């Protein structure tokens, strides 16, 4: 079974449209992330949720809005899509070890969603 | 702000040779340094990581070294094989990031292993 899954895998849309990407993890993790990978392969964190609470909110246009209905799901909604939004978007998840305070743990990535804005 | 610089951006080696990728970080509070491998069209996957209380870690043909004083860490791959061809990313995470587990990635190194 896929540990971190994303839908859709490919998304082609016109400028100005609104679209959503969904992410689910079945690893029992409590922290989830959204990354953007541009055409030069650079990976940049966008958002992170821990137990449904937003904990990382990088300098991202407010057209991007994450939502975490529960610990296992993190969705990304993008309004008024622009050409520059074309990229691969990766969801990832990890587990905080509160007992030992080991919050730096392996992040498991989803397969990615390739967004193309025409 | 936090920054991670990675070099080289591309690396071509003959099968069986060693490959070394180097990263430097700016935040002296960084304490976790993972390395991810991303094959073409695939997701990044962790291959090895090191914490700031350790200077070196090895796992079969891959090893990572950390120099906290100089704020740099390196990935070493020995006896390279064609299946090692991929993009490799270093990353750093800091406790100063407010316990968020936030990773700052390097720019990536495209490794090509020629048969």
- Chain B: closest CA distance from residue A60 (Å): 15
Residue B27 has pLDDT above 70, yes or no: yes
Q: Quote the percentage of chain B above a pLDDT of 90.
A: 79
In this structure, are residues A13 and A116 in contact, taking their beta carbons and an 8 Å threshold?
Answer: yes
User: What is the widest separation between alpha-carbon atoms in chain A?
Assistant: 48
Q: What is the pLDDT of residue B1?
A: 67
Q: What is the pLDDT of residue B35?
A: 97
Is any Cβ of chain A less than 8 angstroms from the Cβ of B54?
no
Q: pLDDT (tens digit, 9 = 90+) per residue, A33-76?
A: 999 999 989 999 999 988 888 888 887 899 999 999 999 999 99
CA dist list (Å): B21 to A71, B7, B62, B75: 35, 6, 11, 5
> Which single residue is written with the structure tokens 């990304």?
A76
Q: What is the pLDDT of residue A38?
A: 93
Tell me the pLDDT band of B52, cut-offs 50, 70 and 90.
Answer: confident
Bigger pLDDT: A101 or B20?
B20
What's the whole-number mean pLDDT along residues A4-11? 97
Q: pLDDT (tens digit, 9 = 90+) per residue, B63-114?
A: 999 999 999 999 999 999 999 999 999 999 876 555 677 899 999 999 999 9
Residue A118 is classified by DSSP as: -
d(CA A89, CA A21): 9
Tell me the pLDDT band of B54, cut-offs 50, 70 and 90.
Answer: confident
d(CA B17, CA B113): 9
Q: Which residues of B touch A111 (CB under 8 A)?
A: 42-43
Q: Which residues of A touch B110 (CB under 8 A)?
A: 41
Q: What is the pLDDT of residue A103?
A: 55
Q: Which residues of A touch B93 (CB under 8 A)?
A: 104
Q: Quote the percentage of chain A above a pLDDT of 70.
A: 92
Q: What is the pLDDT of residue A106?
A: 86
């Amino acid at each position: 079974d896929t540990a971190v899954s994303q839908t859709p895998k490919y998304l082609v849309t016109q400028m100005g449209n609104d679209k959503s990407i969904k992410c689910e993890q079945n690893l029992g993790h409590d922290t989830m992330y959204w990354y953007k990978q541009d055409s030069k392969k650079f990976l940049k964190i966008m958002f992170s949720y821990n137990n449904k609470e937003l904990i990382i909110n990088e300098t991202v246009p407010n057209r991007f809005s994450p939502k975490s209905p529960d610990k296992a799901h993190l969705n990304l909604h993008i309004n008024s899509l622009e050409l520059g939004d074309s990229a691969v978007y990766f969801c990832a998840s990890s587990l905080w070890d509160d007992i030992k305070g080991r919050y730096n743990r392996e992040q498991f990535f989803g397969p990615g969603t390739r967004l193309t804005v025409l | 702000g936090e920054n991670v610089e990675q070099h080289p951006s591309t690396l071509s080696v003959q099968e069986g040779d060693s490959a070394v990728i180097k990263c430097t970080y700016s935040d002296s509070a960084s304490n976790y340094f993972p390395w991810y491998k991303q094959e073409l069209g695939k997701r990044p996957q962790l291959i090895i990581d090191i914490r700031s209380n350790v200077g070196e870690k090895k796992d079969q043909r891959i090893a990572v070294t950390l120099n906290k004083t100089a704020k740099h860490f390196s990935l070493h791959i020995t006896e390279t094989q064609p299946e090692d061809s991929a993009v490799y990313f270093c990353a750093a995470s800091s406790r100063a990031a407010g316990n968020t587990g936030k990773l700052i990635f390097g720019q990536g190194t495209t490794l090509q292993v020629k048969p």
